[in-house]
Amino acid sequence: MVRISKPKTFQAYLDDCHRRYSCAHCRAHLANHDDLISKSFQGSQGRAYLFNSV
């Protein structure tokens, strides 16, 4: 029997910025609010938020 182990996840949190975007499931920090360019971006998979950096 082959046993497959889960890889360990590493989360780096953003600095003490009060306004940030995070994952709804794991609450991982994704981007600062100031990096938001557009909420109406159309990506190849559908609607998306466009950020300057993540």
- Average pLDDT of span 20-45: 89
pLDDT of residue 25 exceeding 70? yes
Within a domain: 38:
yes
- Tell me if 15 is assigned to some domain: no
Q: Is 43 contained in some domain?
A: yes
Phi-psi region of 22 (alpha: psi -120 to 50; beta: other; left: phi over 0): beta
* Strand, coil or helix: 8: coil
Determine, yes or no, domain membership for 45: yes
8 within some domain: no
Range of the domain at 27: 20-51
User: Does residue 39 form part of some domain?
Assistant: yes
Structural domain total, the chain: 1
Confidence (pTM): 0.60
Report, as an integer, the average pLDDT of 3-30: 78
What is the DSSP code (8-state) at residue 25?
A: T
Average confidence (pLDDT) over 43-53 = 91
For the segment 29-43, the average pLDDT, to the nearest whole number, is 91
| Residue 28 in domain | yes
* 46 within a domain of the structure (yes/no): yes
Phi-psi region of 46 (alpha: psi -120 to 50; beta: other; left: phi over 0): left
Q: For the chain, give the mean pLDDT.
A: 83
